[in-house]
Structure 1
């Protein structure tokens, strides 16, 4: 039974009365449907990531129960509200940003590592700095000064590993 989505597999296996879907097929179909959800409805990516061949997917679609489940998921994906990516910066707590600044006081800490330590992405830090002048000033003050007097570790170019 798939670990992340046993309810999908169980629902598929229960359908159909006397001609129930075998548990192994229901598990594979659940893997595909979960990949379809995770892949935002992109069918090709879903069957590839769930290790289902295109011909197998075609056979599954001849079963009305599977076809209805797949279509329901695709319609749900098409009509669900889209949350803007930048909304995460608004959900991040001020405590996370303050802890991030505390971690950056260690000169060996990178922006990326400090951000990940507190559960934030580097892009969230850049977004916060672009919207909050006080945060940007605190971040600028923590940038180390190099030998030539110029500041290193610019906030616009985050360490990429």
Structure 2
């Protein structure tokens, strides 16, 4: 019986050694795989701006419209829209002005009685193509609250004016250029 036990021990020991040798051989012959990955990020210039959501023009007396024809501007009733830009990473940016309704080269109103014309630095902003771009260059590539003043001037529209409210919608966007 002792002999049988010893023989079993030898068999178990040999089997264990064979298993360890097999595992070691398998590990040294295992195929590995590696891959490279490239990480990229684009840093882009960005701009934002503030402006009033509503610009209420001065009241325009009906009598001031008599004798005026379509396209006549009423500079005595102009108002100013202030745009304040902030940009990082660029000295140059542009505003795009897009009216919901075109009134010739100006912003058309819901009634057609009046238009609103834009001017920046005493230069008319021509919206006849449906939108217009105004470009600005600053001294630095990082700035806050750079001001652009837009003058808004009422203009007699194609439809004979009548008393009432004349509403227009203008979309203004800013982007680095």
- Larger relative contact order (C-alpha < 8 A, sep ≥ 6)? 2
Q: How high is the TM-score relative to the length of structure 2? A: 0.22
Q: Structure 1 length normalisation: TM-score?
A: 0.24
Question: Quick check: which one's helix share is greater?
Answer: 1
Higher strand share: 2
